[in-house]
């Protein structure tokens, strides 16, 4: 199997775990983690695209992944802060519509 193929397969597996976490888990921390897994799946797919032609690495997807990581870190930091504040205010670790 080529390197790009391996990366694509790993990206699909990560995306699957992420989607499962989003659908099956209600805890906010797990959902934030699931979003992160999904994001990393997309990044890995982009890295795979950069490697498709043998002997040449396309720099544009790498630049996109670097920018994407910066965005993902800020979004995760904010999501964690918001989840903490939500827990402090309500004592809940999940959203009210996910009750029961």
Partner 1 sequence: MAELGALSLPLAFFLPLLTALAAFLLGARQAPWLAGIGALATVAAVADAVRRVAAHGPQAYHLGGWAPPLGVELYADGLAALMLAMTAAVALAVTAYAGAYLHGQGQAAERFWPLWLVQWAALNGTFLSADLFNLYVMLELVTLTAVPLVAMAGDRASLGAAMRYLLLALIASLAYLLGVALLYGGTGTLHLREVGELAGAGGPTAVAAALVTAGLLLKAAIFPLHAWLAPAHSSAPAPASAALSALVAQAGVYLVLRLWLWAFPALLSPVVGWGLGGLGAASVLYGSLQALRQSRLKPVIAYSTVAQLGYPLLLLPLAAVPAAASQAWQGAAYFIVAHGLAKAGAFLAAGNVYYSLGHDRLAGLRGLAPELSASVLALGLAWVSLMGLPPTAGFLAKWQLLSGALAGGQWPWAVVVVLGGLLAAGYGFRVLATAHAAAPPGGPVGRPARRLPWRMAATPLLLALAVYLLGVSAVPALRLLGQGAPEALG
The residues binding partner 1 (CB under 8 A) are: 22, 28, 31-32, 35, 38-39, 42, 45-46, 49, 52, 60-61, 64, 67-68, 71, 74-75, 78-79, 82-83, 85-86, 89-90, 95-97
- Are 11 and 41 spatial neighbours (Cβ–Cβ below 8 Å)? yes
In the DSSP assignment, the letter for residue 87 is: H
Extract the runs of DSSP E, i.e. beta strands, from 4-73.
none
Cβ closest to partner 1, residue 2 vs residue 67? 67
Cβ closest to partner 1, residue 1 vs residue 84? 84
User: What is the C-alpha to C-alpha distance for residues 64 and 68, in angstroms, rounded to an integer?
Assistant: 6
Q: How far is the CB of 97 from partner 1 (least distance, A)?
A: 8
């Amino acid at each position: 199997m080529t390197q790009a193929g391996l990366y694509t397969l790993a990206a699909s597996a990560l995306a699957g775990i992420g989607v499962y976490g989003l659908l099956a888990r209600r805890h906010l921390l797990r959902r934030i983690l699931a979003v992160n897994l999904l994001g990393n799946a997309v990044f890995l797919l982009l890295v795979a695209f950069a490697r498709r032609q043998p002997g040449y690495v396309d720099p544009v997807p790498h630049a996109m992944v670097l920018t994407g990581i910066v965005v993902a870190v800020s979004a995760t930091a904010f999501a964690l802060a918001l989840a903490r504040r939500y827990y402090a205010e309500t004592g809940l670790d999940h959203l009210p519509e996910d009750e029961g």
